[in-house]
């Protein structure tokens, strides 16, 4: 019996922190998910996928991040602030 290959993480630690940050900024504006999705021109499910911190969901693209900044009233520097401490060695950890 052979051991199966370890599953790879879909999202890097950097992407997970970025997803958490955009969710945090939306919540800080007291913007419900449904209203935010409407203002972003996306479905509620898509916004849920953007904010999901599990090993599924959607990747945040530069375009949607820019749109979130505009809709949520934040600058891109506020989104990326404090994300630079994620190290490259964390990017390829297998799921246990």
Distance in angstroms (rounded) separating the CA atoms of residues 51 and 46: 9
SS3 27: helix
- pLDDT tens for 23-46 read 999 999 999 999 999 999 999 999
Distance in angstroms (rounded) separating the CA atoms of residues 34 and 83: 27
Angle between helices 33-40 and 44-51 (to 10 degrees): 110
pLDDT at 28: 94
pLDDT band at 82 (very low <50, low <70, confident <90, very high): low
Q: Which fold has domain 13-86?
A: 434 Repressor (Amino-terminal Domain) (1.10.260)
Distance in angstroms (rounded) separating the CA atoms of residues 82 and 2: 42
What does the domain layout of the chain look like in residue ranges? 13-86
CA dihedral sign, ordered 58, 78, 26, 54: positive
Q: For the whole prediction, is pTM greater than 0.85?
A: no
């Amino acid at each position: 019996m052979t051991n199966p290959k370890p599953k790879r993480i879909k999202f890097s630690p950097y992407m997970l922190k970025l997803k958490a940050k955009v969710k945090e900024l939306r919540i800080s504006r007291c913007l419900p998910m449904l209203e935010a999705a409407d203002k972003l021109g996306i479905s509620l499910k898509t916004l849920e996928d953007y904010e999901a911190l599990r090993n599924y969901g959607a990747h945040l693209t530069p375009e949607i991040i820019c749109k979130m900044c505009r809709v949520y009233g934040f600058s891109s520097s506020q989104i990326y602030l404090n994300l630079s401490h994620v190290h490259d060695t964390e990017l390829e950890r297998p799921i246990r």
